[in-house]
């Protein structure tokens, strides 16, 4: 059994093809026969034909995905879609995509999407032709490779979802800690921040305590496609708090590393179940490396965090507090990403990036600035362009006919 999928075109005439290729004496062949013998209302399968009385080989069965409700819908399926699919199968044989010696032994089942409001018959034909041939080529080559899936999974965007889920697939990133106390303050800061993929938004602990977890959803409404962290500093009932954050549309949740392992592990497990990032804040943890190793479930991000109150007290005594994050390389061997926080300036940002920090967490320098836009730029300028800026729209192996 070989399986292929392709989407080609745009607008109402867009074609989305799913197909299976297999031997007649196999589950694919049995499904082929059963579909013909037991048609379902509105999704009646039909043999592909290049023109009446001329079916292609391998024998091809076309199954409409969208319910056919009348002759107008049927005309699109029995006309341009059917012809486009059948011609693509015949051309695939001629071009060597399907070996000729298997044409009498194999069958093809093609699921065809034709929008009920599609009007342009030429485009319906063209797009279904292109999608079918591409899907067959992919099926014969076992596309995509596992390596491609793992490379693309965190930066892919589904076109019909209506929104984008950001993943941290290409660090470094700047995380702006919104350690404020009101929705109005947050809105004012967000309106001034650059719109960048490398810029992450954090609903700080004071903000969540004062406004509730729903502030995360309000931040989402202010900037729809941002990556948002809920800094809960969870110490107990981790599963409940993580679920609350996920339900409020958080992309990541911050857990306190001072909690018992059982609570931290349950929080991480719940984050995995919800499909969001788990961040463990190791502020005031004496041996971070050992603490991480002791966890059965590792967080996605380890946050090395200098205590603000400790820093303030030192400054009041006239002392200079240096940024010391320990050996980041050792920690990065245990977890996927490492973030650093605590009084970071553009100067110490450079040091942190050189040491291998994946996320730079900045609060006061930006949110207390007279110009948050340029304050954020001070950090972003030290980072590469946004990951997708230089990316081609289509990868070389996604082009029709190659």
Residue 296 placed within a domain: yes
CATH number (domain holding residue 17): 3.30.230.60
pLDDT at 384: 93
Q: Which helix (H) or strand (E) holds 111?
A: strand 106-112
Residue 131 placed within a domain: yes
What distances in angstroms separate CA 393 from CA 17, 70, 226, 342, one per listed residue? 20, 37, 21, 38
Q: Which helix (H) or strand (E) holds 86?
A: helix 82-94
Contacts of 145 (CB under 8 A, 6+ apart): none
Do residues 267 and 324 both lie within one domain?
yes
Do residues 108 and 19 both lie within one domain?
yes
CATH number (domain holding residue 278): 3.20.20.70
What distances in angstroms separate CA 13 from CA 83, 102, 120, 258, one per listed residue? 15, 32, 7, 56
Say if residues 189 and 203 touch (Cβ distance below 8 Å): no
Residue 241 placed within a domain: yes
Do residues 324 and 182 both lie within one domain?
yes
Do residues 179 and 35 both lie within one domain?
no
pLDDT at 42: 84
Do residues 262 and 374 both lie within one domain?
yes
Catalytic site residue 16? yes
Containing structural domain, residue 15:
2-143
pLDDT at 93: 97
Do residues 257 and 191 both lie within one domain?
yes
pLDDT at 166: 83
Do residues 229 and 311 both lie within one domain?
yes
pLDDT at 73: 87
Dist CA 84 CA 248 (whole Å): 45
DSSP code at position 80: I
Dist CA 218 CA 362 (whole Å): 21
Do residues 250 and 321 both lie within one domain?
yes
Q: Which of 230, 141, 227, 126 is nearest to 178 (CA)?
A: 230
Contacts of 76 (CB under 8 A, 6+ apart): 114, 118, 121, 124
Residue 149 placed within a domain: no
Do residues 313 and 213 both lie within one domain?
yes
Residue 158 placed within a domain: no
Do residues 53 and 177 both lie within one domain?
no
Dist CA 237 CA 279 (whole Å): 16
Residue 156 placed within a domain: no
Do residues 182 and 222 both lie within one domain?
yes
Please give the tally of structural domains in the chain: 2
- Per-residue pLDDT of the chain (402 residues), as tens digits, is 999 999 999 899 999 999 999 999 999 999 999 999 998 888 989 999 999 999 999 999 999 999 988 888 889 999 999 999 999 999 999 999 999 999 999 999 999 999 999 999 999 999 999 999 999 999 999 999 999 888 888 877 776 776 778 889 899 999 999 999 999 999 999 999 999 999 999 999 999 999 999 999 999 999 998 999 999 998 988 899 999 999 999 999 999 999 999 999 999 999 999 999 999 999 999 899 999 999 999 999 999 987 655 555 555 556 554 556 777 889 999 999 999 999 899 999 999 999 999 999 999 999 999 999 999 999 999 999 987 665 554 554 554 433
Q: Which of 323, 327, 292 is nearest to 310 (CA)?
A: 323
Tell me which of 16, 43, 115, 370 is the catalytic residue: 16
Do residues 376 and 298 both lie within one domain?
yes
Dist CA 380 CA 349 (whole Å): 10
Residue 402 placed within a domain: no
Q: Which of 391, 367, 397 is nearest to 178 (CA)?
A: 367
Residue 354 placed within a domain: yes
């Amino acid at each position: 059994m070989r399986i292929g999928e392709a989407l080609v075109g745009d607008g109402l005439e867009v074609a989305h093809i799913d197909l299976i290729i297999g031997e007649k004496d196999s589950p694919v062949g049995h499904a082929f026969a059963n579909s013909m013998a037991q048609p379902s209302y509105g999704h009646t399968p039909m043999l592909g034909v290049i023109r009446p009385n001329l079916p292609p080989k391998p024998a091809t069965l076309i199954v409409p995905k969208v319910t056919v409700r009348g002759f107008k819908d049927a005309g699109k399926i029995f006309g341009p879609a059917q012809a486009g699919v059948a011609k693509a199968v015949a051309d695939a044989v001629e071009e060597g995509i399907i070996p000729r010696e298997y044409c009498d032994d194999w069958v093809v089942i093609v699921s065809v999407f034709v929008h009920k409001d599609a009007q342009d018959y030429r485009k319906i034909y063209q797009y279904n032709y292109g999608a079918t041939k591409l899907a067959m080529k992919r099926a014969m080559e076992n596309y995509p490779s596992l390596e491609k899936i793992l490379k693309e999974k965190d930066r892919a965007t589904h076109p019909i979802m209506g929104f984008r889920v950001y993943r941290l697939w290409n660090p470094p990133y700047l995380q702006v800690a919104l350690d404020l106390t009101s929705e109005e303050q947050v809105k004012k800061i967000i309106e001034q921040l650059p719109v960048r993929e490398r810029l992450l938004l954090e609903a700080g602990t004071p903000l969540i305590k004062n406004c509730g977890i729903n502030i995360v959803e309000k931040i989402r409404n202010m900037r729809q496609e941002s990556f948002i962290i809920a800094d809960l500093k969870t110490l107990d009932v981790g599963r409940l708090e993580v679920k609350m954050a996920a339900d409020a549309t958080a992309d990541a949740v911050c857990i306190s590393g001072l909690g018992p392992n059982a609570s931290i592990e349950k929080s991480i497990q719940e984050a995995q179940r919800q499909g969001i990032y788990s961040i463990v804040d190791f502020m005031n943890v004496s041996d971070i490396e050992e603490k991480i190793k002791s966890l059965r479930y590792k967080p996605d991000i380890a946050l090395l965090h200098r205590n603000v109150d400790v820093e303030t007290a030192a400054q009041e005594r006239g002392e200079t507090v240096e940024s010391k994050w320990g050996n980041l390389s050792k920690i990065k061997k245990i977890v996927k990403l490492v973030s650093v926080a605590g009084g970071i300036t553009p100067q110490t940002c450079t040091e942190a990036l050189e040491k291998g920090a994946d996320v730079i967490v900045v609060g006061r320098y930006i949110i207390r600035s007279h110009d948050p836009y340029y304050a954020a730029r001070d950090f972003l300028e030290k980072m590469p362009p946004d990951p997708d800026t230089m990316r081609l729209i289509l990868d070389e192996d996604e082009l029709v006919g190659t």
